Amino acid sequence: MGNRLSHVDEAGEARMVNVGEKAITRRVCVARGEVLMRPETLQEIAQGTIPKGDVLATARIAAIQAAKRTSEWIPLAHPLPLDGVLVELTPDISGSLGKISIKVTVQAQARTGVEMEALVAVSAAGLTIYDMCKAIDRDMTLDAVELVSKSGGKSGDWQRRESQKKGRAR
């Protein structure tokens, strides 16, 4: 059957995959996550009264910065020149909890995908929101970080189906 994990060699040791012979193709990945918080915390974010500053602007910059430096976070990831990083932060106070939905789209012309760049960007945005608001709400959670879609490369396109959510409530 052979080894199906490309980051592990035949001896079972970690390795960085050689992508030098792969074709350069347009790669696009979308990832998402959310930060759950007290409604009062979300109101303070919206009103701009968080003592550390503009939470959403800072989280957006953190996401972009993290996407560009993913190979420093993830040991076997390749450093990639990114063409674009789009960060969407959507506050929602309609339920019993406040929520900021995070969606990141990463694009590159590369030999390997940008899934990790999108996921790291979502995580960095969520952690930045937590860091900026933890003094008033330590109960916040970063939740449901997941890949939504990817395109490009030899494996082609992939899209998350609703049934792939593994029973998580949204």
Q: Could you read off the pLDDT of 125-170 as tens digits, one per residue?
A: 999 999 999 999 999 999 999 999 999 988 889 999 976 655 554 4
Q: Could you read off the pLDDT of 64-91 as tens digits, one per residue?
A: 999 999 999 998 889 999 999 999 999 9
- Relative to beta strand 84-92, strand 25-37 is unpaired
Residues labelled as active-site residues: 131
CB 116 within 8 A of CB 70: yes
Q: What is the pTM of this model?
A: 0.87
Closest CA to 101 of 132, 75, 126, 76: 126
Phi, psi of 36 (to 5 degrees): -100, 140
> Is the CATH number of domain 25-152 3.30.70.640?
yes
Tokens linked to 99: 């929520």
